[in-house]
Amino acid sequence: MKILLALIPVLPLLGFLILSVFGGRLTRKMAALTGAGSVGISALLTLITGLSFLLSHSAGGVIVVNLWDWLSTGGLTASITFRLDALSLVFIFVITLIGFLIHVYSVEFMADDEGFSRFFAYMNLFVCSMLILVLADNLLLLYLGWEGVGLCSYLLIGFWYKEPANGYAARKAFIITRVGDTAMIIGLFLLFLNLHSLNINELMQQASLQWGGGSSLANWAALLLLGGALGKSAQLPLQTWLPDAMAGPSPVSALIHAATMVTAGVYLIARTHVLFALAPAVQTAVAVIGALTLLLAGFSALAQHDLKRVLAYSTISQIGYMFLALGVGAWSAGIFHFMVHAFFKALLFLAGGAVIVVLNEEHDILKMGGLRKKLPVLFWTFLIGSASLAALPLVTAGFYSKDQILWYAWSAGNGNPWLWAAGLFGAFLTSLYTFRLVFLVFFGEIRTQPTHQPGNLMKLPLIVLAVFSVIAGFIEMPGSLGQVHLFSGLISAVLPPVILTHENIPEIILQVLASVISLSGIYIAYLFYLKKPALGASLDKSRVTGFFYSGWGFDKVYDTLLVKPIVWLAEINKNDFIDSFISAIASTTVFFNRLLVYTQNGKLRWYVMGFAIGIVFILTILMKK
């Protein structure tokens, strides 16, 4: 059992090594087998491990595998130890399963690309880093995985490196997440200095012992870790990199930016929940940031033309929901939404990527239309995914998870009617922009003809994900519909249950309200974009839309406030004055060289003259004695 757990991250690592060393010499088939196969076997092992874990330990246990001691210096001991408990089980299940499906999809998606084995090498390394991140026993190993996923996202966003814009997007992603990473490492320093360990369990125990609720150290530590989470999960104020990261291939967007990497921040906050519980101000900040981000991203998604950018902003918005859930203390609801979101967002990205490919790389949704007859599989899977995203009542998994979050936003300990209202309005926006997308792409008249049908390797993962997007919700149904608490039962072994404080309005009313809102969103989208497309078109051209389109102007603000001054500083410091001291030494030497070079003019008589002068000097000096 322990060996199997250790193999789960190691197999993709092996896949990466084989592909990076031998990738040029492998055939397409071999590279695909290695790449997808390693993640596939990992997924299988995850299922086996998960099943035996659930059957034997019944959600309360942990499996710890210590591979070797990594560091042991100056009071810091860190070892390569993997720790499986209910929380990380959920995460590795999602990562390996969705990772495997995406790898299978990529075999066909990247079939014509020249960087085929390079792609799979990077993807395998990514899956390995993410698995290390969620299985890590101590924060240093987690940080290793953290950096690993950051690196892989850079490599994969800029995969088609020959386009300079892709490189720019990759750099932007890396730099902005770097800002978050720096905050996180300072947080790690703070934790280590005060609590003398980086082992997560020990940290949580020590923190609750030594730091009382609301102590400033706990606040700072939680704030710094939150900074790291904000960077990776693309929340306010570090959210500007995610829309531009759509420059990478669609499977990359699906894996990294929908299912796994952007949720690393959610995982971090959930893992260190004790710390956040000790810092209620920061926890409230988490919820507020989540609420603001989901609104901001929702508005921006409404104004986008690029299919993938709509989905990107949608991701930002949905992670905002997860942060909202974590912030009000609804830990299991946040993780549940993570799982469900992973399924339907990956589905949407893969289906969207397929649409873009069959339309010959056409990204603009205003140039698409009427594809539902021509691409039935894509249409139905995309519809199911969008329905789940818009939280279509009762039949989709998205409904159950989002509904739970909204209920806890109202009623939980940290909850607040304002947060609930923000979530509700966000749900309205979600269904609005989602079905705007669906109607513009799949309904109406055909503006761009699809060139071919997607193959089986692309259709199969879509179908599997669509199925999951529907049935995954049924493991956690609210009280009014059956009280199925499989998921929260699982998670409650690790994360504390929600404490309900404001149960003044019964849950059913809020549920009905949420359902009405999402349905009305669908209806208004239908109105604006299908029935009377002229309304929709005029809305797209208004100035407010332009503001939303640019992501509320964040890019511009960052550019003027941060980027331009730093670039200006670097420019004027190009010949910096510290350098001039050193180059002064060099130029003095050169100056003396120019002077002295006259004495080396190669003329014999000159040298003899030198001899004679030397003799005169020596004799004169000797005479003085």
- Label the pairing between strands 76-84 and 484-485: unpaired
Burial class (CB in 10 A: 0-12, 13-18, 19+), 541: exposed
Q: Per CB under 8 A, does 504 bind another protein?
A: no
- Minimum CB separation of residue 20 from another protein in Å reads 49
- Minimum CB separation of residue 159 from another protein in Å reads 50
Q: Per CB under 8 A, does 527 bind another protein?
A: no
Q: Per CB under 8 A, does 541 bind another protein?
A: no
- Minimum CB separation of residue 593 from another protein in Å reads 7
- Minimum CB separation of residue 609 from another protein in Å reads 6
- Of 144-152, 209-217, 477-485, 604-612, the window that binds another protein (rule: CB under 8 A) is 604-612
- Minimum CB separation of residue 237 from another protein in Å reads 57
- Of 209-217, 299-307, 442-450, 616-624, the window that binds another protein (rule: CB under 8 A) is 616-624
- Of 79-87, 291-299, 435-443, 592-600, the window that binds another protein (rule: CB under 8 A) is 592-600
Nearer to another protein (CB atom), residue 452 or residue 594: 594
Instruction: Answer whether 269's CB lies under 8 Å from 286's CB.
Output: yes
Q: What is the 3-state secondary structure (H, E, C) of 248-315?
A: CCHHHHHHHHHHCHHHHHHHHHHHCHHHHHCCHHHHHHHHHHHHHHHHHHHHHHHCCCEHHHHHHHHH
Q: Which residue has the tokens 């730091």?
A: 211
Angle subtended at Cα 588 by Cα 583 and Cα 594, rounded to the nearest 5 degrees: 125
- Minimum CB separation of residue 602 from another protein in Å reads 3
Q: Per CB under 8 A, does 73 bind another protein?
A: no
- Minimum CB separation of residue 614 from another protein in Å reads 11
> Residues 6 or more apart from 564 whose CB is under 8 A from it?
none
The values of phi and psi at residue 484, to 5°, are: -95, 120
Q: For another protein, which residue of 482, 534, 604, 625 counts as binding (CB under 8 A)?
A: 604
Q: For another protein, which residue of 577, 585, 601, 625 counts as binding (CB under 8 A)?
A: 601
Structure-derived torsion over alpha carbons of residues 125, 128, 129, 133, reported in degrees to the nearest 10: 170
Give the dihedral sign, CA 339/341/342/344: positive
- Of 168-176, 291-299, 514-522, 590-598, the window that binds another protein (rule: CB under 8 A) is 590-598
The answer to whether the bond into 417 is cis (omega within 30° of 0) is: no
Query: Nearest Cα to 88, choosing from 490, 420, 613?
Result: 490
Q: How far is CA 327 from the centre of its chain?
A: 19
Binders of another protein in range 88-147 (CB under 8 A): none
Q: Which tokens sit at 448? A: 């761009």
- Of 216-224, 505-513, 566-574, 591-599, the window that binds another protein (rule: CB under 8 A) is 591-599
Nearer to another protein (CB atom), residue 534 or residue 623: 623
Q: Per CB under 8 A, does 535 bind another protein?
A: no
Q: Per CB under 8 A, does 613 bind another protein?
A: yes
Q: Per CB under 8 A, does 614 bind another protein?
A: no
Residues near another protein (CB under 8 A) are 593-594, 597, 600-605, 608-609, 612-613, 615-616, 619-620, 623
